[in-house]
């Protein structure tokens, strides 16, 4: 399919077969490791599965967020990239499958699923109206339903527009995106509360939803940036992309790295300063044993390196630097989720072995497969979008 | 005027497209000392003029990091060395609590320094006597026209070729710009007498008024009102009480905080029965005991407790402390003697703290043991 | 056919005015004598300031006992007003710096005015920490300098972080504003014939010649300052929120306070800017520079930040229940149904309910309605700071310590005076400096940039 707008130089090429092969290979290896992990140590595997769910949710939901944001803000520089984000948003479809193993391991993951414990603990008892298995599952289903509904409606309109070029589809999507945002805010918050905060049911923090949001946005942005730079370099993208287009991606990555650090630091400072044992124990768990090194590592990996790596203006536009930092940031987000989740499993000792490696391998394989699958039937750029030409002409 | 010095030739253009093309051609022609004047920054002009990228980013980075390091160093020095106080149970170098200030100082240092660098170093501003000021050219490019200036001190410049180039580019109002007499000065602007005297005046005024404010004004009405308050402080005199003093003497039976009075007053037997030595015979305690014994006890009792006083008959010599009686006295009984005195021995309670008394008693035991050693001591 | 054509760029400045017209339009208030309406407005604001000044003099003479602060409500109107005014200042920096970084050209017409508002709002805010220490003439001790008492400041106190943050914010905002003014001073210098004005503009423009060699560095500095000002503005209100959040008071010690306060600050700031701009554009005929599209975009931001504030309310409430911490749960019930319920419901309706009307496009583009909603937002945000500060203090851990706090007339007079102070500076600003940035507006008029789009 070639474009039906004049002056737009894009012809749809199939992505190279080797990419799909790589995807299958990683997926296969990952799957073998994951399944073995469940047989060998199903508790540890369940915790890793939770990290996997959180990571894939970040990519899927974060990408959908950016699609909606582009519509709402009326941005033009991102219009050429929107379809890439839509492809990554398709990750939302497989989330229910990824979540399934968790439902068989609820007792190992969540302290509050043990009835005798809840009955004897006044604090847990008072929360049991929210933290009980049935409501937890209902909420999980609700999240998936909400996310998938918005995903399908928005992307279907976008796909239709490729053929018809109808501007009213853009107006419709803007309205739908506006409605999506409050749902996004609430679901990203409550999924974080359910899947991260309830691991330590005595702990609470009002900013955790925002914390998870900051990581989510970063991960989605990094995945998209990596894909976009690679696609442009290999010639699969529309012609006319210049460094100015990259600048906004680099600047957003930099901005959100700072935002994550700001949120993480605020949470830490307030709990450290007030020194209330009912809150500090969560951080103390992440300082005992060798968790201390993991925590210090988090600051370096998630803040110091990306900060200086994307500080200068040229670095925000340089394709090589952007590719490197995108991969780094994806790794950093996985690290962040590990730091959030694993201390509940390994109190005093951070475990790392082939089990922990298998899940990220599976994740990367899955993402590649989803992307290549979506790109088979759809254009890599929204060729029918009325803002596309303005987007291509965008200059700083 | 033949003695007027030429600064350069200027030409005016009407549209941004024209000025970009013109600037590019001048740059490609090999001119280095030329300039473009526009009422607002025109996109792409930097590339058209082939200007290298601005280095101000480095200034921001360097000064910013200087700010960071200064803030950390200052707070470390003040909180850990100069006046360490435990606040809220936090460590002296409470790094998370220092972060907000570190951040603010970094931003402040970087912002001020970068702007000052740009203005003073890069632009060499303030400079209100440049040849272009007050010219028709400046009036136009300040408002709605775009201009090019070819400077006379460029290697390629000659009056004829400059005029020709500008005409070829399509410039209007090609004019020559001359230096005003007053604008030519070979001195550095910073040493100008007016500027120096201004600096001196500012220095005098600022330091003088600061001195006055902090050392005189703060002690004048109304700022000194809180220094003289109606409430009464301990050392004041005061007409409310008949003795004219603000402080009242403590009532009968008042004890100092943390200090229970000696409960065995006048009762040596109970003291001997109930008081127990609070110290163990460690080296530290024995050293203390020896010191105190040598200071307070030895003048009368002698260095070895044998009663060989140094007082040469001013006081009768006390009996030896190695007697059966004294050796069998308990530590508590000895403590009573030191505390209350005995016969003509005065009380040493005001000269020796309770701990020192116990330590001295330990040392005395050592002395006594030395003349009454057991067989086992030789091993 | 869709009513909006997304393929076309909506011009930022309507009507494609000539560059010289822009000069004339923006310089006009500076070149004409003030009219009667101006003097009446100035008289009103000066009177308000005067009332505040008298209240302050009384407070210094008789002491802060004239205020309503009591035990346990040691923090009353002074802190509420401080946070309120600092918040108002944030919109200015957001418009100048953040919208600049996001390449939103529609900010060019309003950035100068918004930055001016920031500076005046921060000045107004700065009055409150100064006076509430009781002896403002000893304010020098707030800064760490070697003194004869060997006394240093407490670096771990959020109140001291405030000192650093607000003074840095003021300094950097002022520098940013001044740097933006340099080219405009040069333009004014070159068009005036009045000798005194010429001297003043010559000095303040530092000799700017509109040289592109200078524009190049200028743009880099502008970008750097915007890049610094952005985290700075976030940090300032974050540090203000730390005043509350580092404590252990129920209702104060919540980790979401930093982004919540920042969103609230932007929320109230934008509302105030929108209100004042509605007047400015009418009085000075800037309607094609400060367009209805600009106002609509501002209302969208008000809607966004108002929703963020609403989110924070919901989170606080949910986590208060979830945490099972009884004093925290009590605090929220107390806010809604206790002695300050009247303040709480004003806050909720003004901050959460009314701004939601901005979902409707017609309302976003209706000047009378948007004006009213923005006023309500400011009322609501003042009450939010009031509710946070006072309810937690008046009903904290020990019921025997509970007490009701009511501000006194003196408190109210100082608040009134702060509004007078702020608006007086604004009025003076409109007649002495260009309230719209001449150079920035020229740069985004249609036809002002070269037409080849690709290099």
Residues A270, A271, A275, CA angle at the centre, nearest 5°?
Answer: 115
Q: Where are the alpha helices (DSSP H) in chain A?
A: 17-40, 42-73, 82-89, 95-103, 106-109, 115-120, 122-127, 133-164, 167-195, 208-234, 243-274, 277-285, 291-299, 305-309, 313-317, 319-341, 354-377, 388-392
Verify whether the Cβ–Cβ distance A265 to B97 is below 8 Å.
no
Asked whether the beta carbons of C288 and C26 are under 8 A apart, the reply is no
* C57-69: pLDDT as tens digits: 999 888 889 999 9
d(CA B98, CA B89) in angstroms, rounded, equals: 15
DSSP category for residue B222? T
Q: Which of C62, C198, C61, C76 is CA-nearest to residue C128?
A: C76
Verify whether the Cβ–Cβ distance C217 to B122 is below 8 Å.
yes
Q: Where are the domains of chain B?
A: 6-183, 187-249, 269-374
Greater confidence (B126 vs A49) lies with A49
Angle formed by the axes of helices C341-348 and C367-394, nearest 10°: 140
Q: Which residue has the tokens 């993480």?
A: A264
Residues near A131 by beta carbon (within 8 Å), at least 6 away in sequence: A110, A112, A124, A198, A201
Q: Where are the domains of chain C?
A: 19-140+152-444
State how far residue B137 is from chain C, nearest Cα, in angstroms: 10
Residues B226, B227, B228, CA angle at the centre, nearest 5°?
Answer: 90
Q: What percent of chain B has pLDDT over 90?
A: 55
Asked whether the beta carbons of A286 and A343 are under 8 A apart, the reply is yes
Measured in Å, how far apart are chain C's first and last C-alpha atoms? 34
Contact of B50 with chain C, judged by CB distance below 8 Å, is answered with no
pLDDT at B24: 92
- For chain B, the farthest-separated pair of C-alpha atoms sits apart, in whole angstroms, at 128
Q: Which residue has the tokens 């000064």?
A: B63
A-interface mutation test, from B45, B91, B94, B96, most A Cβ less than 10 A away: B96
Verify whether the Cβ–Cβ distance C212 to B105 is below 8 Å.
no
pLDDT at A75: 86
Asked whether the beta carbons of A181 and A73 are under 8 A apart, the reply is no
B125: left (phi over 0), alpha (psi -120 to 50) or beta: beta
B343 in helix, strand or coil?
coil
State how far residue A105 is from chain C, nearest Cα, in angstroms: 23
Write out chain B residues lying below 8 Å of A265, CB-based.
96, 99
d(CA C184, CA C399) in angstroms, rounded, equals: 60
Chains with ≥3 CB–CB distances under 8 Å to B: A, C
Q: How confident is the model at residue A43 (pLDDT cuts 50, 70, 90)?
A: very high
pLDDT > 90? residue C166:
yes
Identify which of B97, B105, B111 has the shortest CB distance to residue C175. Answer: B111
* Burial (0-12, 13-18, 19+ Cβ within 10 Å), A386: buried
C379: left (phi over 0), alpha (psi -120 to 50) or beta: alpha
pLDDT average, residue stretch C212-219:
94
Q: How confident is the model at residue B184 (pLDDT cuts 50, 70, 90)?
A: low
pLDDT > 70? residue B243:
yes
Contact of C450 with chain A, judged by CB distance below 8 Å, is answered with no
pLDDT at C141: 83
* C246-276: pLDDT as tens digits: 999 999 999 999 999 999 999 999 999 999 9
pLDDT > 80? residue B330:
yes
Residues B264, B270, B275, CA angle at the centre, nearest 5°?
Answer: 75
pLDDT average, residue stretch C316-345:
94
Interface of B with C in 230-249 (CB under 8 A): none
Indicate the CATH number for domain B269-374: 1.10.760.10
pLDDT average, residue stretch C300-317:
94
Verify whether the Cβ–Cβ distance B99 to A269 is below 8 Å.
yes
Write the CA distances from A105 to A43, A92, A108, A124, C143, integer angstroms: 7, 22, 5, 20, 57
Verify whether the Cβ–Cβ distance C164 to B56 is below 8 Å.
no
pLDDT average, residue stretch B276-302:
93
Q: How many residues appear in chain A?
A: 396
pLDDT at C252: 95
d(CA A353, CA C284) in angstroms, rounded, equals: 70
Q: Which residue has the tokens 């940036």?
A: A225
* Burial (0-12, 13-18, 19+ Cβ within 10 Å), A186: middle
Which residue in chain C has the smallest CA separation from A200? C323
pLDDT > 70? residue C51:
yes
Tell me if ipTM is over 0.90: yes
Supply C364's token pair.
């976003």
State how far residue A269 is from chain B, nearest Cα, in angstroms: 6
Which residue in chain A has the smallest CA separation from C324? A123
d(CA B368, CA B378) in angstroms, rounded, equals: 16
pLDDT > 60? residue A229:
yes
pLDDT > 90? residue C104:
no
pLDDT at C173: 95
d(CA A67, CA A161) in angstroms, rounded, equals: 15
Contact of B52 with chain A, judged by CB distance below 8 Å, is answered with no
Residues A60, A180, A159, CA angle at the centre, nearest 5°?
Answer: 65
Q: What is the CA radius of gyration of chain B?
A: 45
Supply A385's token pair.
């979008």
Which residue in chain C has the smallest CA separation from A394? C453
State how far residue A275 is from chain B, nearest Cα, in angstroms: 9
pLDDT average, residue stretch C331-339:
94
Compute how many other C-beta atoms are within 10 angstroms of the C-beta atom of residue C337: 11
Identify which of B57, B103, B222 has the shortest CB distance to residue C220. Answer: B57
* C13-28: pLDDT as tens digits: 888 889 999 999 999 9
Write out chain C residues lying below 8 Å of B125, CB-based.
206-208
Indicate the CATH number for domain C19-140+152-444: 1.20.1630.10
Chains with ≥3 CB–CB distances under 8 Å to A: B, C
Which residue in chain A has the smallest CA separation from C258? A266
Work out how many CB contacts closer than 8 A connect B with C.
203
Q: Which of C441, C161, C402 is CA-nearest to residue C281?
A: C441
pLDDT average, residue stretch B73-86:
93
Q: Which of B374, B368, B377 is CA-nearest to residue B304?
A: B368
Contact of B201 with chain A, judged by CB distance below 8 Å, is answered with no
State how far residue B145 is from chain C, nearest Cα, in angstroms: 9
pLDDT average, residue stretch A372-391:
90
Supply A104's token pair.
């068989």
Average of per-residue pLDDT values in chain C: 92
* A77-124: pLDDT as tens digits: 899 999 999 999 999 999 999 999 999 999 999 999 999 999 999 999
Contact of B57 with chain A, judged by CB distance below 8 Å, is answered with yes
The 3-class secondary structure across chain C, one letter per residue, is CCCCCCCCCCCCCCCCCCHHHHHHHHHHHHHCCCCHHHHHHHHHHHHHHHHHHHHHHHHHHHCHHHCCCCCCCCCCHHHHHHHHHHHHHHHHHHHHHHHHHCCCHHHCCCHHHHHHHHHHHHHHHHHHHHHHCCCHHHHHHHCCCCCCCCCCCCCCCHHHHHHHHHHHHHHHHHHHHHHHHHHHHHHHHHHCCCHHHHHHHHHHCCCCCCEHHHHHHHHHHHHHHHHHHHHHHHHHHHHHHHHHHCCCCCCCCCCCHHHHHHHHHHHHHHHHHHHHHHHHHHHCCCCCCCCHHHHHHHHHHHHHHHHHHHHHHHHHHHHHHHHCCHHHHHHHHHHHHCCCHHHHHHHHHHHHHHHHHHHCHHHHCCHHHHHHHHHHHHHHHHHHHHHHHHHHHHCCCCHHHCCCCCCCHHHHHHHHHHHHHHHHHHHHHHHHCCCCCHHHHHHHCCCCCCCCCCC
Asked whether the beta carbons of A45 and A37 are under 8 A apart, the reply is yes
Contact of B41 with chain A, judged by CB distance below 8 Å, is answered with no
Asked whether the beta carbons of C302 and C267 are under 8 A apart, the reply is yes
Contact of C17 with chain A, judged by CB distance below 8 Å, is answered with no
* A177-188: pLDDT as tens digits: 999 999 999 999
* Backbone dihedral angles phi then psi of residue A118, each to the nearest 5 degrees: -65, -40
pLDDT at C149: 80
pLDDT at C61: 87
pLDDT at B224: 84
pLDDT at A29: 95
pLDDT at B187: 62
Asked whether the beta carbons of A143 and A149 are under 8 A apart, the reply is no
Residues B33, B38, B40, CA angle at the centre, nearest 5°?
Answer: 130
Verify whether the Cβ–Cβ distance A395 to B89 is below 8 Å.
no
Q: How confident is the model at residue C349 (pLDDT cuts 50, 70, 90)?
A: very high
């Amino acid at each position: 399919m070639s474009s039906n707008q004049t002056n737009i130089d894009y012809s749809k090429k199939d992505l190279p077969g080797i990419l799909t092969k790589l995807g299958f290979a990683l997926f296969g290896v990952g799957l073998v490791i994951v399944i073995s992990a469940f047989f060998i140590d199903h508790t540890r595997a369940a915790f890793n599965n939770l990290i996997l769910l959180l990571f894939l949710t970040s990519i899927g939901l974060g990408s959908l967020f950016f699609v909606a944001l582009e519509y709402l803000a009326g941005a033009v520089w991102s219009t050429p990239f929107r379809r890439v984000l839509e492809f990554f948003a398709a990750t939302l479809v497989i989330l229910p499958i990824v979540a399934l193993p968790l439902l068989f391991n609820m007792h190992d993951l969540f302290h509050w699923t043990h009835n005798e414990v809840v009955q004897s603990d006044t604090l847990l008892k008072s929360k049991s109206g929210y933290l009980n298995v049935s409501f937890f599952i209902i909420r999980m289903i609700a999240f998936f339903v909400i996310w998938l509904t918005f995903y399908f409606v928005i992307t279907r309109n976008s796909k239709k527009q490729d053929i018809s070029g109808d501007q009213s589809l853009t107006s419709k999507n803007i309205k739908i995106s506006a409605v999506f945002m409050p749902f996004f805010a609430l679901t990203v918050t409550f999924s974080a509360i359910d899947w991260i905060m309830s691991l330590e049911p005595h702990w609470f923090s009002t900013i955790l939803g925002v914390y998870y949001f900051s990581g989510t946005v970063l991960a989605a942005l990094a995945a998209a940036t990596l894909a976009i730079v690679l696609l442009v370099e290999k010639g699969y993208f529309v012609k006319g992309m210049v460094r100015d287009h990259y600048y906004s991606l680099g600047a957003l990555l930099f901005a959100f790295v700072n935002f994550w650090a700001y949120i993480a630091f605020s949470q830490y400072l307030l709990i450290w300063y007030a020194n209330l044992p009912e809150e500090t124990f969560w951080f103390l768990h992440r300082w005992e044993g060798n968790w201390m090194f993991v925590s210090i590592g988090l600051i370096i990996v998630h803040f110091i390196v990306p900060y200086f790596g994307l500080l200068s203006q040229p670095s925000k536009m340089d394709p090589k630097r952007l590719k490197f930092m995108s991969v780094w940031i994806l790794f950093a987000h996985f690290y962040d989720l590990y730091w959030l989740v694993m201390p509940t499993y390994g109190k005093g000792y951070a475990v790392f072995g082939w089990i922990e490696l298998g899940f990220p391998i599976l994740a990367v394989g899955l993402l590649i497969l989803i992307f290549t699958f979506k790109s088979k039937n759809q254009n890599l750029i929204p060729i029918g979008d009325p803002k596309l030409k303005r987007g291509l002409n965008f200059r700083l | 005027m033949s003695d007027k010095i030429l600064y350069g030739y200027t030409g005016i253009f009407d549209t941004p497209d024209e000025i970009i093309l013109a600037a590019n051609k001048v740059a490609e022609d090999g001119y280095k000392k030329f300039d473009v004047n526009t009422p607002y920054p025109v996109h792409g002009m930097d590339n058209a003029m082939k200007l290298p990228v601005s280095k101000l980013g480095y200034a921001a980075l360097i000064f910013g990091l200087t700010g960071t390091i200064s803030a950390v160093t200052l707070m470390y020095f003040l909180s850990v060395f100069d006046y360490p106080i435990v606040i809220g149970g936090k460590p002296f170098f409470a790094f998370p609590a220092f972060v907000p200030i570190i951040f603010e100082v970094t931003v402040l240092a970087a912002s001020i320094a970068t702007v000052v660098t740009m203005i003073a170093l890069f632009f060499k501003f303030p400079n209100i006597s440049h040849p272009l000021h007050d010219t028709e050219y400046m009036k136009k490019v300040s408002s709605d026209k775009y201009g090019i200036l070819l400077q006379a001190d460029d290697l390629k410049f000659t009056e004829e070729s400059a005029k020709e180039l500008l005409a070829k580019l399509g410039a209007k109002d090609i004019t020559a710009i001359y230096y005003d007499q007053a604008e030519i000065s070979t001195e550095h602007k910073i040493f100008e007498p007016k500027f120096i005297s201004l600096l001196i005046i500012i220095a005098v005024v600022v330091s003088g008024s600061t001195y006055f404010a902090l050392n005189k004004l703060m002690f004048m009405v109304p700022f000194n009102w809180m220094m003289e308050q109606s409430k009464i402080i301990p050392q004041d005199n005061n007409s409310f009480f008949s003795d004219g003093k603000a402080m009242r003497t403590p009532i009968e039976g008042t004890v100092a905080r943390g200090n229970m009075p000696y409960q065995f007053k006048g009762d040596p037997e109970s003291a001997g029965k109930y008081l127990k030595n609070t110290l163990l015979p460690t080296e530290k305690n024995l050293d203390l005991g020896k010191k105190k014994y040598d200071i307070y006890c030895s003048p009368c009792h002698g260095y070895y407790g044998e009663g060989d006083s140094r007082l040469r008959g001013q006081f009768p010599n006390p009996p030896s402390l190695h007697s059966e009686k004294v050796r069998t006295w308990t530590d508590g009984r000895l403590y009573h003697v030191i505390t209350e005195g005995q016969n003509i021995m005065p009380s040493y309670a005001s000269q020796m703290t309770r701990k020192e008394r116990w330590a001295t008693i330990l040392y005395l035991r050592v002395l006594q043991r030395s003349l009454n050693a057991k067989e086992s001591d030789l091993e | 056919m869709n009513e909006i054509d997304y393929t076309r760029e909506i011009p930022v400045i309507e009507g494609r005015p000539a560059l010289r017209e822009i000069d004339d339009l923006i310089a006009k208030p500076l070149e004409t004598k003030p009219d009667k309406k101006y003097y009446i407005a100035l008289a009103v604001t000066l009177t308000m300031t005067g009332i505040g000044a008298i209240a302050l003099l009384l407070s210094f003479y008789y002491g802060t006992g004239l205020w309503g602060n009591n035990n346990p409500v040691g923090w009353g109107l002074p802190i509420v007003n401080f946070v309120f005014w600092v918040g108002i200042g944030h919109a200015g920096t957001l418009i100048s710096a953040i919208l600049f970084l996001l390449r939103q050209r529609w900010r060019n017409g309003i950035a100068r005015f918004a930055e001016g508002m920031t500076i005046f709002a921060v000045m107004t805010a700065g009055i409150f920490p100064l006076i509430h220490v009781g002896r403002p003439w000893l304010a020098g001790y707030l800064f760490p300098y070697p003194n004869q008492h060997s006394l240093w400041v407490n670096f771990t106190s959020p109140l001291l972080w405030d000192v650093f943050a607000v003074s840095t914010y003021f300094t950097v905002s002022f520098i940013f504003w001044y740097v933006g003014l340099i080219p405009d001073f040069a333009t004014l210098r070159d068009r005036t014939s009045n000798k005194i004005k010429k001297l003043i503009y010559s000095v303040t423009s530092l000799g700017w010649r509109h040289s592109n060699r200078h524009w190049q560095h200028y743009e880099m500095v502008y970008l750097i300052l915007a890049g610094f000002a952005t985290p700075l503005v976030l940090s300032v209100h974050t540090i203000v929120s730390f005043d509350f959040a580092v404590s252990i008071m129920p209702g104060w010690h919540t980790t979401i306070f930093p982004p919540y306060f920042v969103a609230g600050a932007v929320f109230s700031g934008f509302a105030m800017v929108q209100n004042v701009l509605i007047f400015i554009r009418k009085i000075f005929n800037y309607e094609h520079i400060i367009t209805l599209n600009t106002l609509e975009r501002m209302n969208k931001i008000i809607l966004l930040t108002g929703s963020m504030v609403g989110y924070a309310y919901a989170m606080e409430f949910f986590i208060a229940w979830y945490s099972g911490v009884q004093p925290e749960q009590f605090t929220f019930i107390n806010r809604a149904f206790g002695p300050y319920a009247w303040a709480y419901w004003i806050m909720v309706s003004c901050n959460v309910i009314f701004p939601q009307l901005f979902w409707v496009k017609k309302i976003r583009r209706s000047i009378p309605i948007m004006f009213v909603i923005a006023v309500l937002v400011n009322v609501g945000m003042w009450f939010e700071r009031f509710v946070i500060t006072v309810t937690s203090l008046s009903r904290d851990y020990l019921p025997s310590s509970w007490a009701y706090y009511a501000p006194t007339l003196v408190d109210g007079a100082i608040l009134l005076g702060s509004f007078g102070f702020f608006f007086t500076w604004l009025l003076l600003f409109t007649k002495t400096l260009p309230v719209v940035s001449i150079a920035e507006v020229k740069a985004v008029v249609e036809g002002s940039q070269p037409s080849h789009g690709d290099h």
